Amino acid sequence: MNQNPSNEVRRQMLEDAKTIAVVGLSNKPDRTSYMVAQAMQNVGYRIIPVNPVIAGETVLGEKVVSSLAEIDQPVDIVNVFRKSEDILPVAEDALKMQQKPKVFWMQQGIANEEAANQVRAEGIEVVQDMCIKVDHALLRVGK
């Protein structure tokens, strides 16, 4: 039962956001996570790559951290590229952040109701099964 916020609310989220932590960001330019993160960076967002496999590397000009807990600055949106069944630990990590994000965004094809409910219970907006890049374009953010 996917209860995404309305178009207007999602547009406002994207308008207000400045920083996006991208969980599962690949260092391979042909991967969807890379292309989406790069597109969001190109329209002015700061990207914080989160991927334990390549932690310490630089992707899109930003140092990769191994977990959300390592981020010591405000993050507006946590954008997740992980399998639906792997979302719960990511949600739990997001809730342990020093400054909780405003939005927990699961990419297209990804949904986890248990994780969504946990995050919502802490007052964080949840978007499931939607591509942030596509939504940004469709909602004409910043225009």
> Taking residues 10-33, what's their average pLDDT?
97
Whether the per-residue pLDDT at 1 is higher than 60: the answer is no
* pLDDT at residue 7 in the model: 95
> pLDDT digit string (tens) for 83-141?
999 999 999 999 999 899 999 999 999 999 999 999 999 999 999 999 999 999 999 88
> pLDDT digit string (tens) for 26-66?
999 999 999 999 999 999 999 999 999 999 999 999 999 99
Would you state the structure tokens that stand for residue 66, as one six-digit string?
């191994």
CA distance 25 to 136: 18
CA distance 83 to 62: 24
What is the model's pTM?
A: 0.96
Q: How confident is the model at residue 143 (pLDDT cuts 50, 70, 90)?
A: low
Give the pairing type, strands 58-59 and 62-63. antiparallel
Number of C-beta neighbours around residue 113 at 10 A? 14
Number of C-beta neighbours around residue 48 at 10 A? 24
